[in-house]
Every structure is written in C-alpha cells, then in structure tokens.
Structure 1
Amino acid sequence: MASPTDREILPDTIKPINYDLSLFNLEYGGKWSYDGLVKIDSKVKGDTQELVINSKELEISGADVLSKDGGLPITSMTDVSYDTTKERATIKFSANIPAGDAVIAIKYKGTINNAMAGFYRSKYKPVVTPASGTPTDGEHHYMFSTQFEACEARRAFPCFDEPNLKASFEFEVEIPDDLVALSNMPEKRVTKGSKDGLKKVAFEKTPAMSTYLAAWAIGDFEHVEAFTERKYNGKNLPVRVYTTRGLKEQGRFALEHAHKTIDYFSEVFGIDYPLPKSDLLAVHEFAMGAMENWGLVTYRTTAVLFDEEKSDARFQNRVAYVVAHELAHQWFGNLVTMDWWNELWLNEGFATWVGWLAVDHLHPEWKVWSQFVAEAVQTALELDSLRASHPIEVPVRNALEVDQIFDHISYLKGSSVIRMLSNHLGQEVFLKGVGDYLKIHAYGNARTNDLWAALSAASGQDVQAFMDPWIRKIGFPVVTVAEEPGQITLRQSRYLTTGDVKPEEDETTWWIPVGLKTGTPAKVVHSALTVKEDTVRDVDESFYKINADQSGFYRTNYPPQRLLKLGESQDRLSIEDKIGLLGDATSLAISGSGTTAALLSLLEGFREEKDFLVWSQIATSLSKVRAVFAENKEISEGLKKFSLKLFSPAAEATGWEFPKDEEWLTGQSRKLLLAYAAGAGHQGIIAEGKKKFAAWKGGDEKAIHQNLRGVIFNLAVANGGQEEYDTIKAEFKKTTSVDGREISIQALGRSKNPDHAWDLLEFVTSEEVPPQDAHGGILAVAANNGTRRVAWEFTKKNWERVEKRLGVTNVVIDRWIKTGLPKYSDTAIRDDIAEFFKDKNTAAFNRSLVIVSDTITGNASYKQRDEARLLEWLKSHGYA
C-alpha cells in the first residue's frame, strides 16, 4: 500500500482552504484562450519564500500574497519557473510568506483546448438554429466543459491538484448574454459584464472537495427538469438534464432515472444527497463514458440521451446504469474521497456495484445481476487471468501514471469482489456498514481499511482478514474439484490463462465462499475454503454445483463427466449458474485445464435455452473460440456450422417483429439470435435482412425497426460490397440518431474486404470523426476474423497519424491499443508489436502493451495445443 512517503506529492508547506476562481476575456475562434484570476485561501506552515503548485499549459503572469482580509499585498511574485514533466510551477516571492492564514492571488492565461481534458471545447453541428453568442469557427459550433479527473484541473487553473487536498470552491465566469453557464452549485448572482452583450455568472460556494471534482460548462444549453420525491432540507431537489439546443427531450429517460436514483441512494446510505441541486450534462466530445463532478455530472451523449422514436433499446440499459453509477459517486467518491490514487478502486468498484443495485431496484425485470455476471464478472476474470494484470489496489507513486488503472480491474474486479462480500455479509448489513463509513468520513478522505473497519463493526466479522488477498494480491484462484463417494475435495490455486503457473506465483491463499448448491430440491450450503485444500462431505452425487449463482470471484474446474452432468441439469441451475458454467468451461479450454471439445459438448446441451443473458454468454464463448482458430479454414468452417446449428432453432423462432410493450430482455434476445445466426451464415435470415436493407435504402425509413439497425446494417455490409459499405458510411455522416454513429462504425467493420477495413481505420483517425469514436473502428476491424490483420498493419504503417489524432488524451490512444491488438493468435505478430514499440514513447499505454502480449501468447498456445483435437471432434460430430 502506498504511504505518503512513496508518493510524488507537493510540499506540505501550504494547504488550500478555498478557491475563488474568476474566468474572463474568453476568446473564441482562432485563439481559444481566457484570462483567469484565482484567489486561494490557504494555511501556511512555517515561513517560505516560494509556492510550488500544479500548473499545466498555463501562463502565470503575476501572484500576490494578501493578508487574510484580502488587503494590500504582503509580498509579490518575482519569478516563476515551470517543470513540464511534473506539471508544476514554482512561484518565487520578494519576501517570505508568513505562517498562518493567507490569500494567494494568481493571475494567469489558459487555453480552451480540444483534448477532452481540462477546460475544453467540443464541436457539434446544431440540430436547430443556435443562439447568436454560441462560439463558432464557421463550420462547427462549440460548447465548453471540463474534465479534471485524474490530474487535469491544473490545466484550467493553478491548484493543489491532489485528492486529499480538499477545499471549497467559488466560481465566476463572464460569458455572452444568450448563453448558459453551469457549475457544481446553483447560480448565486448574474451581473452585467465588462462590455455590452456579456454577463458575469457567479455560483454558490461548494462544500470541501477534491480539485478533480470541480466543474463548469458554457454553451447554448436548454434543459428538462424534475424534482425528487423526497424532501431535502424541507425542499424537493431540482434535477435537470442539460443539452445543446434542440436535444433536451432526449434527456427525459435519464431524468426519470436520475431523480429516483438520488432518492434511492439517500435511503440506502442513510445520508441525504449533500448538494442543493443535481445537473446532468450531455457533452458532444467526451473521452470516457461520464464524469461524476459533484452536482454537475458530464456524460458522453450516448450515455445520457435516449430518443424513444429512434434509439436502439439497448441504450436504455446503458443510460440507466451510467446515470446510477455517476450518482453513486456523489456519496462514494465525492462526499468521501479516496486518500490517494492507489485506492481508485474504492471509488470505481463500489460505484459500479451500487450502480447496478439501483438499476435492479428500478428495473427488476431486466435481471441485471445476471447481466453483471455475464459482462462484468466474466470480463474481469478474463483480464485478471493474465500475468499482466495488477492488484485491485495498485501502488501509484506518480499521479500522472493513474490513467491506465481506470480499467476492468478497478471497475469490474472491484465491483465483483464487493458483490461477493455483500452476498456473504448480507446486503442489509453490508449497506449499513457502507452508510456508517460515509458518515464517519463525510467531507474527508478515507482508505480501504477504513471501509473494512466499518463493515467489520456492522457485521461482527473480520472483513479485512478475508478481503486483503482479494484487494492486495494479483489474480484469483481456480477451485479444482475431485470426487469421492459422498464427498468432494476442493483445491485452490492461482489461475492463469496460459496454464503455466510457477510455484512463486501460487503463494496466495484466498478466502473463497464455496456456495455449494446440492440435493433435490437444490439448496445452498454456505462455507468457505480458507486453506489450499479441503474436503466437503454430504454431497449429493446426483447433483451439485460450486459457487452458487456465481457470487464468488473464481473459476471452478470440474471432472469432465461432472461438467456434462451439469449441462444436463439445467432445470436446477440459475441464469447466473449457467453463465458461470459456460464462462469457466471456455476459459479452462483456453488454459489447457479443459478442452474445446468438452466446451462444445456442453454448449450443444443449451439448444433449448430461452434466456437472453445465457445466449449472450454462449455467443461470447463461441466467438472467442472462433477468433483463435479463424485462420485454420477447416476448423473455421466447422465452427461456423456448429454455431449455425446451435443458434438456428432459437433465431427462427424469435422472428423479426417487435410487439408493442414486449419485455426488454426479449427484444435484446431477438437481436442477438438474429445477428449470430446471420454471422454463422443462415441464408434465410441474411436474405430477409438484405430485403429490409434494400427497402430502407430506397427511402422507406420504417423498413428497419430502430432496434434492428445494428443487426441489418451488419449483415448487409458483411454480405454486400462497395454499395452497402458506402451507404453505411454516408449514414454515419448524416445520422441524427444519438446512437447512429456507434451503430454505423460497428457495421462498417463487418466488411470482409480488407480494403474496406483499411478505409475505415483511415476514416476514424481523420478529422471527420471525433477521437472518442475511433476505437469503435479498430474494435470492429479486429473482431472481424476476415480482416483483423489489418488492425495491426494499419497501426504500424500509420503510427504517426494515429498518435497525433488520438494522442490528444491518454484514454483514447490507450483504448486503441487495448481493443485493437489483443485478438491475434500468432506469436510473430506479438513479437512484431514489441519490436515496433521498443523505441517509442509508450507511457500512455505501456500496461496495455503487456496485456496485448500476454493475451496473444495465451491464444497462440491454446491454438497449438487444441487444434488437432478440435478438428477431430468437429469431424466426428459431422461439422467438418
């Protein structure tokens, strides 16, 4: 665990208490600049003649130290120097700053950049005539907003940019009369600006908070509004979704979820929402999914907007979850903040789990915990089974390294172990402990052990003892089952996807909730495996399953005959059980502890399956196998036939129609089954899809149901030529649907023509496509077994272009590497990637390069080991 001495942090001679920040002289068009004045109420420890403060791409022109009452300067700046590597400015003063209270006033000039970080501009094409004061460069119009996490507040104003240096904020900005300014708190006053056509908007003072949570936005905004049902300080809180003009009605779905979610969290945490308002803002260019700024949450458009008439229904689930995740942070992260970035998981893992908890509360019919097991748990297990993984709580010496740990370990493994702990303690006890933790540390900072202490007190159990290995050790266990009459032996060992664990990598002993489901009718017996090997007695040999409902974060390796029996006992398995069983069998085939033949035999037993989320896991498992063996033509054709036979009955039964008021999961199931059957070559479905595409292309907009755009666009491009490709490319450029660009890019990547794949990657790295959308292009190309070699070839030959266009922010370029390059099964490509990057600056994605290398190594050894056996099985079963 990183202690303060292990961190590169600012000197502790000056601590901020309050920031009073004013922005003015905002220049639009060519300059994109502004002037700033920040007055920092500070506590000064001992006499010092210099101030070291975080500053990035700012030009400091003057600084004065004023007495606490803000009177005449005590001392003024004589010199300023910048350390661009550490992103710091050192301001020297003419005399010592006396110990005690002081106000440090700094004048500076900043840039409204286009890097999706700091104080930045987003370009967009208005859907209605914008207000005359809207910034424009002639071709595009602009809105301004902020993104300060992790270390980008220093790009907007000089500050003490570390999470445990909390201070309150007052903010004022001068903007055109007809625009709207937003910030963390409500407006305090609006006054006349320095010249005609301008106004000054000042906001109320915030509570003490970390710099990364400060936020503001300026633009041609409008909003929809609702109020909480609960009263806070005697009032129903206003909740608003803001958009650029013409889009506000698409914010209603998020709005309805937001005010209900605020009430729900206030209830389950036992602490009222702490601010007087909650705003949600749709931002046109956004690197992440959303950002939890206190009182002003910012979102990528597809994570907050939903058009009942045009949007694919799958985005309802996404919007509901992202809204809940960010609102969870208003307590867990904002009210109580991690002490340092090594405990990022405390913010993200918890907000992920509790975000799904809120969605489950609002939409029990969506079965989101089954979705969580299919998506979050399986994805986390996959990444954590690599040597290149990292512990949930990872040491961070320099905060500038933190971007790469905003990953599936922090979010998804973090939330998976929290779910495991909540299931063990009981949700009511768990949430009581969380509420106690929030009350004890409100408006301050806390560490992982502080959470464990509150949960231990609430539950009467030593939570830290059994959670420490899960948080502080790398990886997770596989529990191998050996059968004897009436009993089973369980052995735990570290699991690696490459199947080659060394003794020194297998020293951790995890606390493992066994959750034995057994008997008729099946009941769950709770116990824990706390040693390397143990025996469980009184096991019904006719049926048992370990890790009931997949609540533990581990893989289970059954004897081959037991695996087949479990496949035949589906009536006793929950949806989560089935997903876990299939996920484990797939992973164990890859690592060599199981075989692909055993996996396919298991899958054959699921032909009658009715649940969407189980089909989703089946599709994921098959896609993984098909990708690894894609370049063996005989196996590839055999797996295609297998997939077709497995999916066809369910796909044919589901049909193309979306009845009114159909259950959300049924609609999602229809899309998945039709898409996978088409991808496996179902000629009837392909023909019907092409027919609908031709009618739509001919001008009949109703020919394609809004939920089937992805399915039909994909199959049209995959089974078409230049005309279909060009049609979807044009659709990307002209679509007015909030999800249209994402759907179009995925479809363009389905073309079997390598020239189209190359063109798509050129397109998504051009000025025409916002950097945030680029990784969708390489992801689609890399996931296409026919064109995936283009992903690396393009990246290598056009590295300068990729780096220049996507390197505007670490998040975007890192995503390009980690989504586009791990899909190969060829060690020559792995070595080529390593050779190419050895003399490049890879600071933004060096962790992802190790993940790429490990993944390809695992895929290659799996392919080599199982190729002959798999072909033999496919031949003996009539698929090859």
Structure 2
Amino acid sequence: MRPLPDTTSLTVLPNLHDFVKRHICSLLQDISALSFTTDIWTNSVSPVSLISLTAQQIDEDFNPYRLPTALVPVSYNITLWPRLRPDPNTGLYIFTGHSTVEFECVDETELILIHSNKLSYTKLNNAHIVSGGSAPSIVSSWMQPKTQYLITQLNNKLTQGQKYQLYTEFTGELADDLAGFYRSEYQEDGVRKIVATSQMHPTHARKVFPCFDEPAMKAVFYITLIHPPGTVALSNEIVNTTIDGIAVTKTKFEPTKKMSTYLLAIIISDYTHLSYSQGDTLVNIRIWARRTAIEQGQGHYALNVTGPVLDFFQLYYNISYPLSKSDQIALPDFYFGAMENWGLVTYRETKLLYDPLTSSNRNKETTATIIAHELAHMWFGNLVTLQWWNEVWLNEGFASYVSYLGADHAEPAWNVKDLIILDEVHRVFAVDALTSSHPLSSKEDSIILPDQISEQFDVISYSKGAAVLRMLSDFLSEPVFVQGLSRYLSHFAYSNTVGNDLWNHLQMAVEANNVSLPRPVNDIMNCWVLQMGFPVVTIDTTTGKVSQKYFLLDPESNIKVKSPYNYEWLIPVRWMKSGEVQRDIWWLMEKEGMCNDSLWVLANINITGYYRVNYDHGNWERLITQLNSEHQVIPVINRAQLMDDAFNLARAQLVSTTLALKTTSYLLMETEYIPWQSALDNLHYYYLMLDCTEVYQPMQDYIKKLVTPLFLYFKNMTSNWTHIPDRLTDQYNQVNAIRMACRTGVTECQDLTTTWFKQWMDSPQENLIDPNLRSAVYCSAMAAGGEAEWEFGWWQFQGSSVASEASKLMSALACTKNKTLLERYLSYTLNPAMIRKQDATSVITSVASNRVGHSLAWDFVRKQWEYMFTQYGVGSFSFASMISEVTARFSTEAELQQLEEFVEENSAVGFGSATLAVKQAVERTKANIKWLHQNKQEILDWFNSQIQA
C-alpha cells in the first residue's frame, strides 16, 4: 500500500489539488485490492466522494500521523471482556468489546478519523453515529494501517458545536506482546495463571479500543469489565457496581477524571492486596500482587512508603491528591520499570515488591524512588499534561528530579538526594557529550511516528531533564520554584500545556519574590532545553579568566546540527576557595568573563550546575594535593566530580590522561561511596577499552592496590562481615569493596565469596549470604566456578518466588567464564518459557558486559536482530540500551566495520526506538578507536609506575 504523502511536503507543491487526487486514488485502489485476514470493515470508499473534498480538507484530514482538530472527545463508554483461556479453534487469547465515544464537532467535517490498531470490527450494521438531533449516516469505513486510523465517511457534514456518539464493536488479541491489553502468565502453587493487564503508554490505547489517542485529547472514561468469577477487576477509579453471575462477573467503575488515553489502566487477575487509608481525605492505598508475594510480606514496604510520599507531594505541590484511591500493582510481565496510570500504577515486580528476607537495601531504595517517581506524575503529567510528546522530557525529567525529594522525605536517614549525581547527572553526561545527542525539546512536527515518540523516552529526557530542573530549582531557590510550580498546576489542572507555560509561571514567582536573575526564566532555560549538549567552564586562576565551550568527548567530531544559541549557555556558577565557605551564584553570560580570584578554586559546588569544569594546570595540581593531604576539605560530591570531570576532560583532550589518573591516587584513604562509585564508573571505560590488551594486568594490579584498604575497612567495620553498616551509602560501598577486591584478585575476597556460595549449594534451603552482598557474591562465585555453580544458579533462578532475588541470579548467570554456558544462556532469550520477554535484553546486555561474553552477545544480536525486533513487542523500548551496551567495547576498525555492516544489513527491518542509539554507537566507536590509539601507551606507563612505587 502506498502511504499518503507527508503534509509538510504537500504544502510546497505548486499544484497541490491534482497531486493529492492522484495519491488518494492510488491509495483507494490499494485499499480496495487489499484482502484483510480479519473481519474488518472493508467497504471501499468512493474516490469521487473524496475528490470532491477541498484540497485543504484532504491536507488536514489525512495528515498521516496526527489527528485533525475538527473533533474533540468528551467521553468514552467502554466495555471489555478478555478471555483468560485460549479459543479452542484458533488457540488465541482474545478480548471483545464495544465502545461509545462522545465527541464534539469543532469544525464541520464529513470524515471521522479515530486511532485504531490491530482491532477487528464486527457487525458493521451495529456501528452508527447518534446525536441529540439528526445524525448523518455512515457511507463507508476503512482502515489505514500505516497511520493506524479507522476512517469513517458520512453522508453529510457534522455540525459545528454539536455533540455526537460513535458506537463500535470489536475484537482484539490478548497477546503476550506487553502492549495495549495483553496477557501475563505465572505459576503459583503449581497452577498456571493469567493476568489480563494493560500498557497504553505512549500509543497503545488504540490497540484496545478506537480512540483519539493523543495526550491533548483528554476525556472522561466510563469503564466496564467482564471477567471470570473469583477474579478481581481494577481500573483507574473505584468500583461502582459488581454483578456476580454464574459464568461471568460484571464490574462497572466510577467515571474517571478528565484525562489522556495513555493513562487508562485495566487489569483482571487472581491477585490479592494490602491496604490502608491515608490522610485527612482518606485516600485508600492498596498494593496488589500475586497471592504468594503478599503472603510473604513483599508488599509491606511499598504500602508503608506510599503514604509518606503522597503526603510529601501534596505539601510540595500545595494541591490535594486528586483521586480517592491509589492502587499500585506488581506484574510478572512488564517492559518498563513502572507506568503512572492515574490511580492504578503498574510496576515490574522487581520495582515494587521488597522481601525483607532476600531483598537488598538497594532494592529497597529502588522501590522508594520509583514509587516517588510515579506518584509525582499524579500531578505533573496526569493532572496537567504536556500537549505533545516533543516535550516528554518535562514530564519525565521532573518526575526523576522530585523522586529523590519524595524518597528523601520517606527515608531521611538515607541522604538519597545526593545519589542524583551518580544516577542522573554523570550518567547523562556520557550521552550528551556526543554529536548524536539531541535537545531536550524538539519541534512538535518532528516527533510524529510511534517509534519517534518512543525514542523520546531516553536518558536525555529522564536524566538531563532531572539535572537541568535541579539546576533551575537551585538558582531560583526551592521555595520560589515550588511556588511557581504550584500556580502552574492549579492554573492548568485537567488540561494540557507547553513548556513555556511552566517558564511563565516560574517567572511570575520570580517577580513576586524579587529574585534577581540576569535574564527571564524562559531565556535562561531555553538555551539548556532547545540545544543539545552542555558546556565546559574553564577557570584560569593565573589570569582570572572564565570561559565556556561546547563539550564534546571527541573534539574533532563534526557538529551537524545547528544550534539557535550557537552552543552558548547562561551558566550559574557556584564556587569556593580554599578555606572559605560556598559563594553565591556568579553568572557566566558570554563566552568569556572575569573573576578576580587567583587562589585555590573549586567550582560547581555540589554539582548543582549541568556542566563540567576545567582549570589551569596549577589549580588542578593544588586540588589533587588537597585530595592527597586532607580530602575531607572538599565536599564529598565534589570529590566525585573532580574525578568524573578529569577523566572526561582527558577523553576530550583538554587535560592529560596522566592528570586524570592522578585524581584516583587519594582513594587509598577514601571510604565514601559517591567518590568511589564515580572512580569505578570512569575506570569501567578503561576496562572496556583495555581489558584485551597488555594494559589489563597492570590496571588490575593498581586497582587492587586501591581497593584492598577499602575491603579491609569494611571487614573491620562489619566485624568480619557479620554486621550490616548503618548508613545506606556504606552498604553500597561495601558491595563495591567486595566486587572489586574479588575482581582484581584479592585472595581473601575470592575465598570468602566462593565459600559462602559453596555453603549455599550444600544447603540450598538455607541461603545465609547477606541480601546486600548477593549480587557481588553470586557474580564472583559464578566467575570462579564452573558448570556446577552455573546449573545451581539456574535452578535457583527458576524456582525463585521473589523477583528481586531472581533478578540478582539472572545477572550473575552472565558472569561465568564458560563460553558454552554463555551461548546457552543467550539462546534462552529466544524462549519466553525460559527467559521472559521483558528480561531478554537484560540478559543479553549482562552477557555483553562480561569480557568473555562480549563477542558472543554481539554475534547473537547480529544474527537474531530481525527476530528480536519483530517478536519482543514493546521490548523495542529497551533496544536502545541493549545496542549501547553490546557495542560499548568497540574500539577497532574491524568492529566499526561490523557495526556499519549491521546497520546496512538491517536497514529494511529498521531499529525502531534504537535508531538514535545505533548512530551514537557508531560515533562512540570512532571516538574509542582514536582514544585508544592516543592514550594506550601513556596509560600503560602510568599504571606500571604506580604498581612499582
């Protein structure tokens, strides 16, 4: 079938009307010739009736992927009946349904365009249009599969200002593709059970019922679910009525608030729950999960933390929680970490459930922060929704930022707010320093296709979004930021906005509080939002000169994208001098500025600014001397920053590699987690580039020298590993100590982990390994062991009833050095009965991270790409991270050639949401090749000098 031409092209054609007529006629010939395999509406539409439309109407009504604005939905009345047993004739799981969508006509039209994908429409005579007065009749209807439209032509135009209803009946497949209305399967007490659940975000509601499936097309939803007796039905609102029959139960829900289609949730299961009422408004909080999980107490922590997090956000936004209930449910099969469906948040089991006997405190922190992230969306995203997906960063970046605030309120002893530096800021720097990065916000008409929409949900949107909003909150002050935010949410409640609406309300708060800014909020923020990348601020203490420059990991890379701000930023700089307290913000307004300080200087205190900092060589040496003499003088976050900046500045050829390596020498005395993790993250790149070269062993020896004191420190702190450190970050760094000590060959560590694992193998029902240490211990033992250890780990993985424990084992199985086992493990990802579809890409990336398994994983991806791309459903959402991880080690011309051939060979299949990741992989590989050639010898010489000292 020929697609309709893009309307952006149509507008520049000299003879638009004739051009459109030719393409419409051609399209209709294709449609009439198409043999649908399902019972779809196939009546061909008369070319004459369409040609009689004006060119303007055709241009508007047939915009390939965006709905016209002639019709606006008001409400949906939807009844769905999923069959939890396969059809005896076809073997397929299906659902049936009928829907009445009420909409208002804003502009006269005789065409109804509504989204629909993979639905079969039956009983054509039952489809009809009704209104309070006379209603046009349906002339014909047809599907446009490419644009996912159900198009209905009427015999007369709809009247402006009049409301109408479109009634349809349909059938869909309750597939296991984890998109739309899908099925999830699990075993409990030897019985196979089915969950019918949903994932509408971002463009899958159209796979469940015909709808205006765009975020700005908000409406009220009346949901009715038909389900087997004994099962429970859930949706966004509370139950209105339940009618129990012999064959089926019918559950009707209260109407929802006015909301977007992507936030709708519908679930039918055999689950049970924990609950309690929270706050003055008695919000009913419920945690839903498999019966076994609830009986084992895996839902208690989520239940206990949800109330404090909700309390925090009600105070933070100064707006009460808009709903009467807050359901959260853990699903066996779910591609994303979680989804903020309004009133019914869905999670992977590993993200919501916490088992006090087997889960680690890392699992606990993940549960707290991800609950905070999703509940933050109840206001920012659900109550007030962005107009279109080109500004998805504002939704996800905001939720990512405030998730640390909500978790910190619920668990104040953790000091979790500092972890944003490692988890978000440093993480996104690595991607945003590539020319294949992208701005936070794009033009609306550049994000149209479903795959383009999915691409927006990347590390830039989440982590850079969080970083720049944290910077904004810092230079405005948190009270002013929150005041503007609250006014914004109140003003736009139940409607849609664009990013400038938030800047305008923050500017009002700035003016109300007499905050001094060099420019209006939107001027400051647009240079961070509308251009990709970030600056490096260089401070020369010998001259007092301060300058900025677009930071690129490969300074010789070709910048193909022009910037509206010429890659310059308005930069808030917080700094301190030796022996002095933190200074107020100083703004770098142009490419260069001047400061009068010529002493020891440290800039970007607590990394509140989204930029890197470079210094003259003398200042770097003084900072390194300070680290080696009395490192506590420098704030803990900035100790992490100094190493991260130095290593990346060296990769960009702005400082020497030797200088970067010298920043790690003080780690012999460091015991704090954040600096250690920063160092290990940066040395990880050296492992990727050098672990197959002669540099590997000297590097191992140096890191062993650094980590041995840390290993002994935690051995003493924990009384020979018998106690758990009090602080969360100490618990995390204890894991680092064991992981790196074992990895670099500290004999005492390797004996420790293999002994613990052997004890477990001897007594499988009694795992005495501390939950916090299991990831490190399992991996170390698997790497040191053979087939017996691997088979034991696989057996435990298959039998685990705790998702977090299964996840640890799943990662550890990829640590083996046995290539045969790794190949077998990769093959399991093709069988959902062995490895769930949601976990397949995680297994592949875990194998790729093993120096023995890297080439195996790459070969597997190349061979199986078409299968994975077509069979993993919305798993394509995780393909970007898989491509990034599988190609992370590439540093030779041969690997670059393989990658480019892979891109060419699969151009027809495509890469979906991984399209940008593939481009970034090519760019990174080229940069790696140059880096290795330029730095290998210098690194080898430095490591040798340190281990001989």
Q: Under TM normalisation by the shorter chain, which class is it?
A: over 0.9
Question: 1:231 is paired with a residue of what secondary structure?
Answer: coil
Q: Aligned runs of 1:547-586 on 2, under 5 Å?
A: 547-569=604-626, 570-586=631-647
* Matching residue of 2:569: 510
Paired residue total: 856
Secondary structure at the aligned position of 1:822 is classed as: coil
Deviations 1:69-92 (A, max 9, x none): 5x9x84554432111111111123
- Given that 1:183 and 1:215 are in contact with CA atoms closer than 8 Å, whether structure 2 keeps it comes out as yes
Partner in structure 1 of residue 910 of structure 2? 842
2:227 to 175, 181, 187: 175
In structure 2, give the amino acid aligned to 1:306: Y
Number of the residue aligned with 1:412: 463
CA distances 1:410-440 after superposition (whole Å, capped 9, x unpaired): 0000000000010111011101111111011
Q: Shift of residue 369 of structure 1?
A: 2.6
Counterpart Cα distance in 2 of 1:409 and 1:417: 11
Residue 485 of structure 2, aligned match among 417, 420, 434: 434
Question: Counterpart of 1:134?
Answer: none
Report the Cα offset of residue 567 of structure 1.
2.9
**Matches of 1:715 and 1:452, distance apart in 2:** 50
Rounded to whole Å, the distance in 1 between the matches of 2:121 and 2:948 is 70
1:450-529 paired onto structure 2 within 5 Å: 450-460=501-511, 461=517, 462-484=520-542, 488-500=544-556, 507-529=566-588
Which of 12, 21, 34 is residue 78 of structure 2 equivalent to? Answer: 21
Equivalents in 2 of 1:833, 1:582: separation in Å?
Answer: 31
Pairing 1:747–2:812 present: yes
- Identity over the aligned pairs, expressed in percent? 28
Secondary structure of 1:169's counterpart equals strand
Kindly provide the amino acid, as one letter, of the partner of residue 708 in structure 2.
S
Distance 1:617 1:358 in 2: 24
Tell me the residue number matched to 1:136.
none
Structure 2 counterpart of 1:10, one-letter code? L
Relative to structure 2, which stretch is displaced further, 789-798 or 402-411? 789-798
Once the two structures are overlaid, the 10-residue window that deviates more, 623-632 or 161-170, is 623-632
2:166 to 86, 104, 122: 104
2:151 maps to which residue? 90
Match for residue 696 of structure 2? 636
What are the ranges of 5 or more consecutive residues in structure 1 without an aligned counterpart?
A: 131-139
Q: 1:640 to 1:203 in 2, by over 3 A?
A: same
CA spacing shift, 1:792–1:604, aligned 2, 3 Å: same
Cα drift, residue 12 of structure 1: 2.0
| 1:147-166 equivalences in 2 (<5 Å) | 147-166=199-218
Which residue of structure 1 aligns with residue 429 of structure 2?
Answer: 381
Contact 1:765 1:806 in 2 (8 A): no
User: CA–CA distance in 1 between the matches of 2:230 and 2:265?
Assistant: 21
**1:224 has 2:274 as partner:** yes
Matches of 1:479 and 1:466 in 2, distance apart? 17
Structure 1 contact 209–335 (Cα < 8 Å) conserved: yes
Query: What corresponds to 1:137 in structure 2?
Result: none
C-alpha distance 42-263 of structure 1, shift in aligned 2 (>3 A): same
User: Alignment partner for residue 737 of structure 2, among 673, 683, 693?
Assistant: 673
RMSD: 2.2
Answer whether contact 2:647 2:661 (CA < 8 A) is retained: no
Residue 745 of structure 1, CA deviation: 2.2
* Alpha-carbon distance in structure 1 between the residues aligned to 2:595 and 2:559: 26
- Residue 683 of structure 1 aligns with which residue? 747
Task: Name the CA distance, whole Å, in 1 between partners of 2:671 and 2:352.
Answer: 30
| 1:688–1:661 CA distance, 2 compared to 1 (3 A) | closer
Matches of 1:867 and 1:324, distance apart in 2: 44
- Three-state SS of the structure 1 residue aligned to 2:101 is strand
The alignment partner of 1:749 has SS state of helix
Provide the rounded CA distance (Å) in 1 between the counterparts of 2:131 and 2:762: 72
Alignment of 1:315-326 (within 5 A): 315-326=363-374
User: C-alpha separation between the residues in 1 aligned to 2:826 and 2:939?
Assistant: 34
Query: Does structure 2 conserve the Cα–Cα contact (< 8 Å) formed by 1:564 and 1:601?
Result: no
> What is the correspondence of 1:277-316 to structure 2 with a 5 Å cutoff?
277-316=325-364
User: Does the 8 Å CA contact 2:114/2:149 hold for their aligned counterparts?
Assistant: yes
Distance 1:825 1:537, change over 3 A: same
Query: What amino acid sits opposite 1:223 in the alignment?
Result: H
Change (3 A) 1:720 1:416: same
Q: State the alpha-carbon separation in 2 of the partners of residues 25 and 343 from structure 1.
A: 34
The 5-angstrom pairing of residues 467-866 of structure 1 reads 467-484=525-542, 488-500=544-556, 507-539=566-598, 541=599, 543-569=600-626, 570-632=631-693, 634-655=694-715, 657-659=721-723, 662-699=726-763, 701-767=766-832, 768-807=834-873, 809-840=875-906, 841-844=909-912, 845-866=914-935
Deviations 1:97-129 (A, max 9, x none): 444111111111112121111001111111x47
Question: Do the aligned residues in 1 keep the contact of 2:437 with 2:920 (CA within 8 Å)?
Answer: yes
Structure 2 Cα separation of the partners of residues 531 and 159 of structure 1: 49
Aligned pair 1:188/2:240, yes or no? Answer: yes
Aligned residue number for residue 49 of structure 1: 110
Q: Which amino acid aligns with 1:622?
A: L
Q: Deviations over 1:118-147 (max 9, x none)?
A: 001111111x477xxxxxxxxx32111111
CA distance in 2: counterparts of 1:658 and 1:619, whole angstroms = 26
Q: Pick the aligned partner of 2:287 from 231, 238, 241.
A: 241
> Could you list the per-position Cα deviations for residues 595-631 of structure 1 after superposition, in whole angstroms to 9, with x for gaps in the alignment?
3322221101121112112211121111111211122
For the 8 Å contact 1:145–1:218, the answer to whether it is kept is yes
Residue matched to 2:256: 206
Distance in 2 of aligned mates of 1:658 and 1:525: 46
**SS of alignment partner, residue 813 of structure 1:** helix
SS of the residue 1:798 aligns to = helix
Tell me by how many angstroms 1:773 deviates.
1.0
CA distance in 2, matches of 1:470, 1:299: 32
Q: Is 1:370–1:575's contact at 8 Å kept on the other side of the alignment?
A: no
For the 8 Å contact 2:689–2:932, the answer to whether it is kept is: yes
How far did residue 578 of structure 1 move? Answer: 1.2
SS at match of 2:947: coil
Q: Distance in 2 between matches of 1:857 and 1:816?
A: 19
Determine if contact 1:499/1:592 at 8 Å carries over to the other structure. Answer: yes
- The CA distance in 1 between the partners of 2:592 and 2:149, in whole Å, is 53
Letter matched to residue 517 of structure 1: M
| 1:2-51 superposed Cα distances (whole Å, 9 cap, x missing partner) | 99999941122221100010113635223311221111111023543331
Distance of 1:46 and 1:514 partners within structure 2 = 51
Name the structure 2 match of 1:877.
Answer: 946
Q: Helix, strand or coil for the counterpart of 1:531?
A: coil
